[in-house]
Copies of this chain bind each other. A is one copy, B any other.
Amino acid sequence: MGRPPAKPLASLDRGLLPSLLGYMLRRAQSAVFDDFANTFAKAGEALTPGEFGLLVLVDRNAGLSQMALARAIGIDRSTLVPILDRLQERGLLMRHRSPTDGRTHALALTPAGEKALARFARLVRAHEKRIASHLSAAEIRVLIDLLEKVHSGARSL
């Protein structure tokens, strides 16, 4: 009798996992995240995908309040506080007092933040290009389209 396969050191039996959208989504996301981190590390910059999204949102929606921003990215307002603290300490972002509503902070990028964002955007484009290098332009379109469908579909339940 042949010995049992024992431990296939290379790959494991993943059972039903590869047929699950959630699992494949997580895997792809994790791979993309790794390349993002790698791209920024190699360029000597430190930024997470979440921070990049936040900076873009603040840049494109000047005067945004923390509540509005927290809602836009789907986290609690208390979670946002230390994130903004750090970005502010790095000189990328400022909390101005709103002239119309004393409770809210009007968020805005500093000039240094604007310049940094332009730099970050260049890196993100390079990163996107790399992870999409094995897909055709049409495939990318289809993929983004299907991801949007998954997002808005799940959202409605």
Binding site for B on A (CB under 8 A): 6-7, 9, 12-36, 38, 49-50, 53, 56-57, 59-61, 63-65, 68, 72, 74, 121, 124, 127-128, 130-135, 139-140, 142-144, 146-155, 157
Pairwise interchain contact B131-A15, C-beta atoms closer than 8 A: no
Within 8 Å CB of A21, what residues of B?
32, 128, 131-132, 140, 143-144
* Distance in angstroms between the alpha carbons of A18 and B24 in the assembled complex: 20
CB of A136, distance to nearest CB on chain B (Å)? 10
CB-CB nearest 3 A-B residue pairs:
A134-B153, A31-B154, A13-B60
Closest to A50 in B: B26
Within 8 Å CB of A146, what residues of B?
135, 139, 142-143, 146
Closest to A33 in B: B22
Closest to A49 in B: B22
CB of A87, distance to nearest CB on chain B (Å)? 17
Within 8 Å CB of A127, what residues of B?
22
Pairwise interchain contact A131-B153, C-beta atoms closer than 8 A: yes
